[in-house]
Every structure is written in structure tokens, then in C-alpha cells.
Amino acid sequence: MKKNTISFQKKNKPRQISIKWKIFLFLLGFCGVLLILLWFFQVIFLNSFYKGIKINEIKATANTIEKSINDENIATIISTVSENNDICIKVLSSSGDTIYSSHVVKGCIIHSKPDFDEKTLPSEVTNNDGELFQYYNHDGYSRETEPEPAPDSDATQTDNTQTQDKPPSEEKEKEKDTLIYAKTIIDANDEELTLVLNSIISPVNATVNTLRVQLYYITAFMILFSVILALIIAKWISRPIEAINNSTKMLATGDYSTRFKGTGYKEIAELSDTLNYTAKELSKVELLRQELIANISHDLRTPLTLISGYAEAMRDLPDENNSENAQIIVDETKRLTTLVNDVMDISKLQTGNISIHRQPYNLTASLSDSINRMNKLMEMDGYQIDFVSNREVTLAADETRISQAFYNLLTNAINYTGEDKKIIVTQTIFPNPADDLADWIKIEVTDSGEGIAAEDLPYIWDRYYKVDKTHKRAVTGTGLGLSIVKSILDMHHGDYGVTSKLNKGSVFWFTLKI
Ligand code: ADP
């Protein structure tokens, strides 16, 4: 047991970090990704997002007006879209005279600043392929042209827009607060008009700073929150696992009364149910093992006592030195041999260390031989074994093993049969419904003994299981016989079973494919 504990500890060592830290790291990673996204979108890209939105807005407004330029209510339309979007609008003739005007934003450049040159603007726009963007500084209102940030621009370069290829430096861009968009449109009379829209871009620096400070707090809070959450979740998950681990260590030291109490969530409840079942089964095996040792010791001691007793008597007392006593020694030695063989067989069979050698042989003749031999051995004690068969059957199987299985059933029948000391062995052939191609053979061993109680029936095939635990009869075996039968038939893909009635007798049977 000590060995087990040591090996557990050794295996534990290379394990990586505990579940507590794993959950913490996962949560931290998750929060990290969220925060990085927030930082990128709220702080780093806010300015460009905002500008992009403004540009799209101003272009959409220009398109709306362009579509309605021939409408008779164009003046109303212009003032409505102007108010709705907070954009000042002017429509200029080709000579630069104002045709329509909507002034909704106080201090807009196109309405209130003297350095805004309306007269030259239409030709400037036409030269710039009918479209022009201009940014104006908040202080001083100096005019600068900028590249169009909207992706659908196909504006070509003019003298006036020579700086368009180079993106504006960030410093410069931050200073600007007014965006002017001018576009050449054609009205129903084929006259060229220039649409001028003026939108105010509020500086986002202050907002970005506010967001940055907020994000510092959010980051700190998120880290703290993930630590606390990780600790709570980890405790909730790992506590039952630790409890189960402790119980399993106790189980490993041989304490089969250990009970697993895993509660909290479904998986752990299922695990503890499985482990409780395992502990129960292990304790059963342990009990059977202890019983077997007790039985084997008992079964070994009886013949050994007899052998040494009779041998000493034959040595010391000349009268006792006769063949009857010698026979007793021989019989007891045989019993010892059977016992030892049984124990060896079952361990070999159940660890899979035995292979079967199938060869065609006459099963009927082989069974008949075994019965004859047994009849000869037992007829002095009044036992009689009858064999009923209608034809000889040859099949491919391991003769030694099948004979061993049959012999075990036969000796059980002899051991447990009733006062009439009669046993009947029947051989029948039947077509197996599950197997169209081959017939099957069924061997039944019927006795008239006390039978087996229904509650014991499912267990008699288990190793070391014995219904009669009190050793009423000297013939009682080791509890291994039927387990050997089961293993042999399993290896032959045969079937086996028993029907039994208390005080009437039992019919043990097995089937094999012919
Ligand atoms: P054992 O060596 O004790 O006979 P087995 O594995 O052969 O072990 O049988 C298991 C148990 O099944 C026996 O202890 C016995 O109680 C019961 N049993 C087996 N064969 C018979 C039978 N023919 N009649 C009544 N009980 C039987």
C-alpha cells in the first residue's frame, strides 16, 4: 500500500498548474482580449471612426439633394436635410452666385467666414473631377485641402490638392473641426451647379482622454474581478475534486468503506457515483478474496492433516500399514492437486494467459468417456450417471478445456445431487436462430439435489462464490469450478446457464457451435 502512495505522489509532480490558476489565467486572458479591443476602438481609432462617419454622412446628404435638385420643393428639401443632419448647405451657380442656402450651424465657414471664396469654388470643384473635400482649422480658419478618406472617392489630383497623396499628420488632423464637401451637379436645364455642404467636426481629444482614464479604472477593476471570480469558480470546481481525491487515496490504501461525496455539479456527482460503485465492487472482490484464502487454507489443511495423520500411523503402527490407508493418502493428494490446479487455472484463464487450441474431435465420444470414467470411480458410492444422446457430434474445439468444463459441471452435480445419487447428461442438437448456417449442440447436466436459490443464481458463475459457505460436505469445492466453466465457454464463444428449483434439482447447460 505504501508503494501505491509513493507512485501517486510521483505521478502528481509533473502535473502542471492547478485548476485554480488555470481558470484565473483563462479569465485574465478573456478580460485582456476585451480590454485590448476596447482600447483600440475607443481610444486609438475613435478619431478616424468619427471622421469616417462624418464623411459618409455629408456625402449621403449631398446625394439626397442631388437626386431632388429638379424637384419644385427643392428649397424645402434642402432646409429639411440641412436641419436634420446639422449641415449648412449652399447651392452655387457656375459663376459662384448663391441659388439656395440653408444656415443651421452657428459659425459655419461657408456662411460666415470672409476668406471663403465662393466665386472660385465651382471651377475648383469642376477641375477636381466634380468633387472636393476641405478641412478647416478651428483657429484662424486657414483653408487646407485634404485627401478624401472615404473609400469610394475617385477624385483626381489638382494643383490645389497636391498634398492629397500624403496622409495628414495626426497633429494636424486633430486641430481641424470643419469639413466642407463640394460637388458639381447638373440640373434639368443642363446647367452646372455646385453643391457645398459644411459639417462641424467636434474635436474628440477630450473624449479620448476621458475614455482613457475610464479604461484605466475598468482595466484595474477587470483584473481584480477576474482574480475574485477565478478564486470563487476554482473553489467551487476544485473543492469537490479535492474531496474525491482524498477519498480515492483512502481507497487506494485499502479502505473500501470509503464513500465519495461529490456534490456541486453533474459531472462530479456522476464521478462520485462511479467511484462509490467501484469501491463497492472492490470491497466485494476483497471479501471474496479473503473468503477464498480462508476456504483454500481450510481445504488445504484438511487433506494435509489426513495425509500426515495416516502416513504417521502407517509408519508407527504396523497394523495401519495397509492399502486402504494408502488409498486415503492417494485420494487426499488428488484433492490437493485438484485444488491447486483450479486456483492456477482460474488465474491463467482470467488474466488471458491461456490460449485455446481448436481441433476437430468427437465431442459425444469424449463426453461418454468422461462419464464412464466417473461412473467407475463413483459407482462404489452408489452414484449413477446416465448419458442420453441421439448421434455422434464432431466439432472443432479445445478438447482438454471442454472436458475440463464438463468435468466441473459433472463433479458439481455429483457433489450436490440428492439422495437418489442420479445424474443425467443429455446431448441435443438445435438450430440456433441467430446463426442460420450452423447447428448448435447443447449439453445438459441434470441433478436431483437441493437446487440453488434464485437470489444466488446470478452470482454462482463469479470467482470464489459459494452458496454453501459452511462446508457441510467434505466435497465442497473452492468456488472456482463454475468460473472456470464460464471462462472456457466464453473463449469458445459458447453459451451457458442454469435452471434450478429449490429441493428439486438443477440443470446446468452449455452450448457450442458445430
Ligand atoms: P464449488 O467448487 O464451490 O462447487 P463452483 O464454482 O463450482 O464452486 O460452484 C459455485 C457454487 O454454486 C457452489 O458453491 C454451489 O453452492 C453452487 N452449485 C454449483 N453447482 C451446483 C449444483 N449442481 N447444485 C446446487 N448448487 C450448485
Q: Is the dihedral of CA 166, 167, 168, 169 positive or negative?
A: negative
Cβ(194) – ligand 1 distance below 6 Å: no
Grid coordinates in use for 138? 478651428
Q: Are 401 and 429 in contact (CB under 8 A)?
A: no
Q: How many Cβ atoms from other residues are within 10 Å of residue 77's Cβ?
A: 18
- Residue 137 banded pLDDT, cuts 50, 70, 90: low
- Residue 15 banded pLDDT, cuts 50, 70, 90: low
Task: Indicate which atom in ligand 1 lies nearest the CA of residue 445.
Answer: 23
How many A from CA of 460 to the centre of ligand 1? 7
Q: Where are the beta strands (DSSP E) in 312-421?
A: 359-362, 384-389, 394-397
User: Cα(81)–Cα(74) distance, rounded to whole angstroms?
Assistant: 11
Best substitution site from 452, 470, 485 to test ligand 1's pocket, by max atoms within 8 Å of Cβ?
452
Cβ(465) – ligand 1 distance below 6 Å: yes
Is pLDDT above 70 for 49? yes
- What tens digit of pLDDT does each residue of 373-419 get? 888 878 888 999 999 998 999 999 999 889 989 999 999 999 889 89
Using a 10 angstrom Cβ sphere, with 0-12 exposed, 13-18 middle and 19 or more buried, the burial of residue 383 is middle
Residues sharing a CB contact under 8 Å with residue 441, sequence separation 6 or more, in sequence order = 363, 393, 395, 427, 428, 429, 511, 512, 514
Cβ(416) – ligand 1 distance below 6 Å: yes
Identity of the amino acid at 347: S
Best substitution site from 385, 407, 412 to test ligand 1's pocket, by max atoms within 8 Å of Cβ?
412
Taking alpha carbons only, the member of 500, 498, 477 closest to residue 489 is 498
User: Cα(424)–Cα(53) distance, rounded to whole angstroms?
Assistant: 99
Cβ(479) – ligand 1 distance below 6 Å: yes
State the pLDDT at residue 19.
74
What count of residues does the chain have? 514
State the pLDDT at residue 198.
92
Cβ(477) – ligand 1 distance below 6 Å: yes
Centroid of chain to Cα 167: 53
At which residue does the C-alpha cell 492433516 appear? 305
The chain-wide mean pLDDT, for the chain, equals 81
SS3 395: strand
State the pLDDT at residue 118.
81
Please give the C-alpha separations between residue 393 and each of 203, 326, 332, 439, 477, in angstroms, as whole numbers: 103, 41, 36, 11, 31
Q: Where are the beta strands (DSSP E) in 48-148?
A: 87-92, 98-102, 131-137, 143-145
How many A from CA of 479 to the centre of ligand 1? 7
How many A from CA of 346 to the centre of ligand 1? 15
Is pLDDT above 70 for 331? yes
Grid coordinates in use for 508? 446446468
State the pLDDT at residue 138.
57
Q: How many Cβ atoms from other residues are within 10 Å of residue 78's Cβ?
A: 24
- Residue 468 banded pLDDT, cuts 50, 70, 90: low
Grid coordinates in use for 325? 490407508
Best substitution site from 425, 463, 467, 470 to test ligand 1's pocket, by max atoms within 8 Å of Cβ?
467
- What tens digit of pLDDT does each residue of 160-210 get? 333 333 333 444 444 447 889 999 999 888 888 999 999 888 777 777 888
Task: Indicate which atom in ligand 1 lies nearest the CA of residue 482.
Answer: 6
User: Cα(478)–Cα(285) distance, rounded to whole angstroms?
Assistant: 15
Is pLDDT above 70 for 214? yes
Grid coordinates in use for 2? 505504501
Cβ(295) – ligand 1 distance below 6 Å: no
DSSP per-residue letters across 197-231: EEEE----HHHHHHHHHHHHHHHHHHHHHHHHHHH
Task: Indicate which atom in ligand 1 lies nearest the CA of residue 481.
Answer: 7
